[in-house]
Structure 1
Amino acid sequence: MTGPERAGEGDADRVGVLIADAFWDLDASQWIIGDPADARRIFPEYFTHVVAEVMAAGGVVEWTAQRDAVAVWVPTSAADPEPDPGRWDAVLDKVCGPYADRFRTFEALQRAHHPHGVDHHYLAMLAVHPDRQGRGVGSALIAAHHADLDRDGVGAYLEAAGPRQRRMYERAGYTDHGGPYYLPDGGPPLFPMWREPRAS
């Protein structure tokens, strides 16, 4: 596999579809939108908006030359101010309709468990097309970014979507960061994880 390529603003739609294709069957996705038809209609547009927001804020969206996997990284500074939720609330209402409050709950829990006071890169999403999952594509994609973080002495944070994903991230050097937390109403767990930079 060749090295990762940087996605541009014009790629946001395609990246959003790839993420949606990879995330349909995650327990957290099904907690947010239980109806498969609604999920297939809403998730591509939602993720397209998320990717566009990350790009506009200076985030790093990297994907494979084959366009079968993408990693969305958000450089996070200890000095970053809290975001203004007003405009994003309007996006959620428009794009997600009756599910907007579920998205808000999910995002609020993520923010509540996110580490503060330390510079790091947040792996907001790692998505691999269903036909390519289980072949090491995602691990190889993030390894290149980890090399950059190690060189600069910067840590990384993420939330694993389930036990299988957690094991994959453990192999990449992540450890549990405060234990799992659960989505409300009997929802599934998410596993916060942290990676210390490795000395070269």
Structure 2
Amino acid sequence: MGVAIRQAGTGDREALVRLLDEAFMQDPVSSWVFPDEAHRRRVHGKFLGVFIDMTLTEGRVDLAEDGSAMALWLDVPAGLPEEEDDTPARMREIADPENERAEQVGRLMGKVHPHDRAHAYLLMIGVTPEHQGEGLGTALMAPVLERCDREGVPAYLEASSARSRRLYERLGFAFMGTAVQLPEGPQMWPMWREPRG
């Protein structure tokens, strides 16, 4: 599938927030973090904006030229971080200070994130609902996965739905064996992809 992709910059921030907000509004994890849909509609974009700000600063955001899909990538070095990641606390503080789940989800995922090898981390990939199932996610991931294969770098992500898990398996990711069970909520599946020779 021929998809024109460009790297997004800070001037794209508001469009990126809108796109992720729309793409993940009905996601099982977003629905767990913000169970009340009216409340979710008010704070969800602020919550996801933290991911976008971090990736625009520290990683890369690949954006379909037509604005229908995006992927957030970080290059993660080997070894445990020197400082505790304050991203989960910032997400809660910015989006919904009274909501423990807004921080808890990030803390739970941080506990399972592998640190023994450097890797490309697909933090999030979002496709607008009307374009889901058209291959845009695969097209957005392909250039980074090709680079990983060329350079011998593994990749990592967390699938937030059974549907996305199946997509990632088709792209060479394998479930790492232990799902993250959100308290009284859905599962997330940490997945790892070895580079292909």
Whether the TM-score (by the shorter chain) exceeds 0.5 is yes
The Cα shift of 1:13 comes to 1.9
* Distance in 1 separating the partners of 2:115 and 2:88: 21
Asked if the contact 1:119/1:154 (under 8 Å) is kept, the reply is yes
The number of equivalent residue pairs is 196
Aligned to 2:189: 191
> Is this contact kept in 1: 2:109–2:180, CA < 8 A?
no
Residue 104 (structure 1) shift: 1.1
Tell me the alpha carbon deviations over residues 146-166 of structure 1, each in whole angstroms, 9 at most, x when there is no partner: 111111111100111111111
Paired with 2:145 and 2:43, the residues of 1 have a C-alpha distance of 31
Q: Give the equivalent residue in structure 2 for 1:2.
A: 3
1:82-129 CA-to-partner distances (Å, cap 9, x unmatched) read 444558635522322322x21111000100010111000111101000
Taking the aligned partners of 2:133 and 2:162, their CA distance within structure 1 comes to 14
Counterpart amino acid of residue 53 in structure 1: M
Identity, in percent, stands at 34
Alignment partners' CA distance in 2, 1:31 and 1:20: 15
Corresponding residue of 1:109: 108
Gapped regions of structure 1 (runs ≥ 5): none
Amino acid at match of 1:42: V
Scaled by the length of structure 2, the TM-score of the pair is: 0.93
Matched residue SS, 2:126: strand
Structure 1 segment 50-129 matched on structure 2, within 5 A: 50-57=51-58, 59-79=59-79, 81-85=81-85, 89-90=89-90, 92-99=92-99, 101-129=100-128
1:26 deviates by: 1.2
**What is the CA RMSD across the aligned residues, in angstroms?**
1.7
Q: Distance in 2 between matches of 1:90 and 1:120?
A: 24
Structure 2 counterpart of 1:27, one-letter code: P
Q: Is the 8 A contact 1:4 1:144 kept in 2?
A: no
CA displacement at 1:37 relative to structure 2: 1.4
CA–CA distance in 1 between the matches of 2:189 and 2:81? 25
1:80 Cα deviation from its structure 2 partner:
5.7
Q: What TM-score results when the alignment is normalised by the length of structure 1? A: 0.91
Q: Distance in 2 between matches of 1:88 and 1:164?
A: 25
Of residues 123-132 and 81-90 in structure 1, the stretch that sits farther from structure 2 once superposed is: 81-90
Separation (CA, whole Å) in 2 of partners of 1:187 and 1:88? 18
- 1:182 corresponds to which residue? 181
Tell me, yes or no, if structure 1 residue 135 matches structure 2 residue 134: yes
Residue 188 of structure 1 aligns to which amino acid in structure 2?
Answer: P
Residues in 2 aligned to 1:117 and 1:65: alpha-carbon distance in whole angstroms: 35
Which position in structure 1 is the counterpart of 2:33? 32
1:53-78 CA deviation, whole Å, 9 max, x = no partner?
A: 12212x11101111100000111001
